[in-house]
Structure 1
Amino acid sequence: MALIQCDYYSETLGLSCSMNVILPQQTFSQIGMGGKTRGGKHPVLYLLHGLSDDHSIWLRRTSIERYAAELGLAVVMPAVHRSFYMDMEQGGRYWTFISEELPAIARSFFPLSEAREDNFAAGLSMGGYGAFKLGLRCPDKFAAAASLSGALDPAVITDRLHGFDREFALIFGSADKIRGSDNDLFHLAQLVAEGGGTVPKLYQCCGTEDFLYEDNVRFRDNAQGLGLPLTYEEEPGDHEWGYWDDKIRRVLKWLPLRSK
């Protein structure tokens, strides 16, 4: 596979940004790892980081390059700082960036498929929220979304993260502005379920010792009650990279990749 550190300019954010990109490569003589391509433009996974991380973290903490190699899958890992993938109350328009500008920029640089059935999102913690938000707000663009230990209810995140109150106000404004809005995953799930349109596949996992476990159970119960196509898994585990390294392999096996 090809591994690319890509530095570029975002018109939406008005600043220079970075992303790491893994591109499929057909290989036959690599020792310990094979690589494949599918022909034509590549299916792509937008893999999102958590609150304290950046575009490099999935490469540093997991073997995502090795895991994706045999699938012929491109992986785009952008940096969004501590934005919660939001058009922030006081800050950058990171939702517009991640949902509109980033895919367009990535496709202009690399041979990535525009077809819905070839586009997926996944992320951990804050990135789990971002991935489900992409899937539920843009079901016409993403065939599947996966959340690993997701911060799925930001309206209560200050109860989970000590000292986050001031930063929360800069990002969201107030909890009242989240409830029932396009930033509320519970509300979005209901809209998708009742809309009669295209519904993305969803995968959700969380360790039972994770500080976000209660919120994940509430989202699971809500999504299942709405009849959404949710695959849910839980097992002993905490909010840490050993768990996510294991579960991202599960996500890659679960993705509805087209056979080619």
Structure 2
Amino acid sequence: MSIFRTVEVSDPLMEEAGLRFFTVQSPAVGRRVDFSLFLPTGWAGMTSLPLVTLLHGVYGSHWVWPFKGGAHRTAAEMIGAGEIEPMAIVMPSDGLWGEGSGYVEQVDADYERWIVQEVPLAVQEHCAAVTKDSVQFIAGLSMGGYGALRLGARYAPQYAGVSAHSSLTDFAQLSHFVEEPLESYAVVEEGGLSVLDAMKEQPDVLPPIRFDCGVDDLLIEPNRALHRSLNELGIAHEFAEFAGGHEWHYWQVHLRDSLRFFSDVLRSI
């Protein structure tokens, strides 16, 4: 029996480029929420198809990764060329609280549980190729990079790899982007709200982790600081700096790095 009281799914006859759209009534959030799902060519004949959860940043929703970032086209191209292994990519809304939920648990809505538990379950219920045995990864940009790094660390056994682009490294950095005072989030603080705190919770079981940032990004120094702190703690990770700022061109280009990273993990399993 489904945990979702209502589910709306796009008509396959209307879908293009492997994209499917969902609206579900989320118990965790307490209202309807959306996600986009990319399925590679031939997915119906696959079993335990790997699943990437790809998180967006502030101001946007589930549609920005495909329709501003071209994520589905990038994945299809790389899979078709044999550059990466076939994988599904689910791109959920953050829950649409204010200008960005931060993917955290609030007093009246659990955006963390929506991402970690409900999104994969919804995909499994409506795509037979994705199962409870599918290898899972998590990635994101900006606020979504923060969500990926923090949730990937907090729920380390669930994910086989974590990647982030231009990431916030602490919840407090949301103040650079949102008008809402951070106190209004009414966050339930369990395990700390910084990426570093999350990674220190269970460092011995962390999955492979990578993150990158543009040298002209306002978040470059926090990313460098996270890199230094992880090195000091002996926590394995990859960090890269590239030309560019906090912008879609950067994320379009470097999504490929995340997908290659995940594919390399799959090929090593």
**TM-score for both structures, normalised by structure 2:** 0.81
- After TM superposition, list the pairs within 5 Å mapping 1:54-93 onto structure 2: 54-69=61-76, 70=79, 71-80=85-94, 81=96, 82-89=100-107, 91-93=108-110
RMSD between aligned alpha carbons? Answer: 2.3
1:170 aligns with 2:184: yes
Structure 2, gaps ≥5 residues long: 1-16, 80-84
Give the match for residue 231 of structure 1. Answer: 238
Give the match for residue 11 of structure 1. Answer: 27
Structure 1, gaps ≥5 residues long: 27-35
2:38 and 2:72 in contact (8 A); partners too: yes
CA positional deviation for 1:16: 1.2
1:115 and 1:141 in contact (8 A); partners too: no
| C-alpha distance in structure 2 between counterparts of 1:188 and 1:11, whole Å | 25
Runs in 1 of length 4+ with deviation above 4 angstroms? none
Amino acid at match of 2:146: Y
- After TM superposition, list the pairs within 5 Å mapping 1:169-188 onto structure 2: 169-171=183-185, 181-188=191-198
| C-alpha distance in structure 1 between counterparts of 2:114 and 2:33, whole Å | 11
- After TM superposition, list the pairs within 5 Å mapping 1:1-260 onto structure 2: 2-26=18-42, 39-69=46-76, 70=79, 71-80=85-94, 81=96, 82-89=100-107, 91-110=108-127, 111-115=129-133, 118-158=135-175, 160-161=176-177, 164=179, 166-171=180-185, 181-193=191-203, 196=204, 198-255=205-262, 256-258=265-267
1:5 and 1:21 in contact (8 A); partners too: yes
CA positional deviation for 1:65: 1.4
Instruction: Report SS of the residue matched to 1:169.
Output: helix
After superposition, the C-alpha distances for 1:116-173 in whole angstroms (9 at most, x for unaligned) are 7x10000000000111122100111001111100011123443x34x63x43112255
| C-alpha distance in structure 2 between counterparts of 1:237 and 1:60, whole Å | 20
CA positional deviation for 1:102: 1.8
Change (3 A) 1:259 1:189: closer
Q: Percent identity?
A: 27
